[in-house]
Amino acid sequence: MTEGNFVDYVKIHVASGKGGKGSAHLRREKYIPKGGPDGGDGGRGGHVILRANKNMWTLYHLKFKRHYKAGHGGAGGKQTSTGADGEDVYIEVPLGTVVKNTDTGEILRELMEHGDELILAKGGKGGLGNSHFKSATRQTPRYAQPGMEGEEGNFTLEMKVLADVGLVGFPNAGKSTLLSVVTAAKPKIANYEFTTLKPNLGIVEYRDYQTFVMADIPGIIEGAAEGKGLGHYFLRHIERNSTLLFLIPADANDIKKQYEILLDELRRYNPEMLDKDRLIAISKSDMLDEELKAELKAELDGEFKEIPYLFFSSVAQQGLMELKDKLWEMLNDKADH
């Protein structure tokens, strides 16, 4: 998925169809010169409906078409025949799409399951035909109801990436490089902060053709929870991941301090983030010789008693299988609970 095709925020305008008007027809046949009213009802206007689709990864297809209008209901006919309903319009979106009313800011719903539907604008009701208005004193009503107007509205669609593993780390910690070697994703890789401006999703192929999804998310910086840098844009995506992989480079001045800053940003953004499984991966560890690695291990064993950690190097292709094994084990432990 190229960066340009990953769109996770879009505003749309929708309008449902107007209801068809009822018919004021009076029955007129050869041997029944003064038949009663037989006007049918108008059809309802078409709805505009959002539908979740598990085969979609992005809101890219909505980038160029922002206006959606459903069909109008047909008018009622004679012999109490009802008009046709207006054509419904379906807008397909990926799982994890949050729907907001743009004008009020109210969150309406989050579409999580394949096939979930949400009617954004209901079609107008069709008008009643004159056959409904007949009474003992009014034998031949010559009027019928017009159809009701449809609804209109502005909506904001925001997508939270549904990945199994979210990569968390400071800019330039090696997240994009890891993603490029364990998945088929082709993220931009450069030695400057904020190379990854959009989440990159990659399918990690595991043993026996099994797979899981990994997302490299824009690098966090201190102050992200206050919206500094790409703060909220980035943190929104981590909410959906079931396991967080903290990436800290082996040449960091203080590995534990980096981890604590990252953790604190997540805590301030949403304390529930701390309920997720965590794994610390020390990247760029091909820079360490055995002696340095042993020293670092002794230090980390004292500091990370609760949280598993491991060493790997994307460039030297070291420790990648162990990393996948550990993530797979964590994901499947979670699935079993």
Q: What is the pLDDT of residue 87?
A: 95
Alpha carbons 28 and 25: distance in angstroms, whole number: 9
Strand partners, 12: 155
What's the confidence (pLDDT) of residue 50? 96
CATH 3.40.50.300 in the chain is located at: 165-336
Strands 277-283 and 309-311: parallel
Parts of the chain with a pLDDT under 50: 1-4, 187, 189-197, 219, 222, 224-225, 229-231, 335, 337
- What residues contact residue 126 under an 8 Å CB cut-off, 6+ apart? 19, 20, 21, 22, 41, 42, 43, 44, 45, 73, 76, 82, 83, 85, 147, 148
Write down the residue that tokens 């979930």 correspond to.
Answer: 116
Q: What is the pLDDT of residue 231?
A: 47
What pLDDT, on the 0 to 100 scale, is given for residue 251? 81
Instruction: Identify whether the C-beta of residue 73 lies closer than 8 Å to the C-beta of residue 129.
Output: no
The CATH number for 165-336, chosen from 3.30.56.10, 3.40.50.300, 3.20.190.10, 3.40.47.10, is 3.40.50.300
Which residues contact residue 9 at a Cβ distance below 8 angstroms, ignoring those fewer than 6 apart? Answer: 59, 156, 157, 158, 159
pTM of the predicted protein model = 0.58
* Numbered ranges of CATH 2.70.210.12 in the chain: 1-159
Q: Which amino acid is at 57?
A: W
- Give the number of other Cβ atoms within 10 Å of residue 326's Cβ: 18
Q: What pLDDT, on a 0 to 100 scale, did the predictor assign at position 195?
A: 40
The per-residue pLDDT for range 188-215, each reduced to its tens digit, is: 544 444 444 455 666 777 777 666 777 7
State which amino acid sits at residue 8.
D
**pLDDT value of position 299:** 75
Question: If DSSP states are collapsed to H, E and C, what string results for the chain?
Answer: CCHHHCCCEEEEEEECCCCCCCCCCECCECCECCCCECCCCCCCCCCEEEEECCCCCCCHHHCCCCEEECCCCCCCCCCCCCCCCCCCEEEEECCCEEEEECCCCCEEEEECCCCCEEEEECCCCCCCCHHHHCCCCCCCCCCCCCCCCCCEEEEEEEECCCCCEEEECCCCCCHHHHHHHHECCCCCCCCCCCCCCCCEEEEEECHHHCEEEEEECCCCCCCHHHCCCCHHHHHHHHCCCCEEEEEEECCCCCHHHHHHHHHHHHHHHCHHHHHCEEEEEEECHHHCCHHHHHHHHHHHHHHCCCCCEEECECCCCECHHHHHHHHHHHHHHHHHC
Specify the CATH class of 1-159 in words.
Answer: mainly beta
Rounded to whole angstroms, the Cα distance separating 59 from 265 reads 28
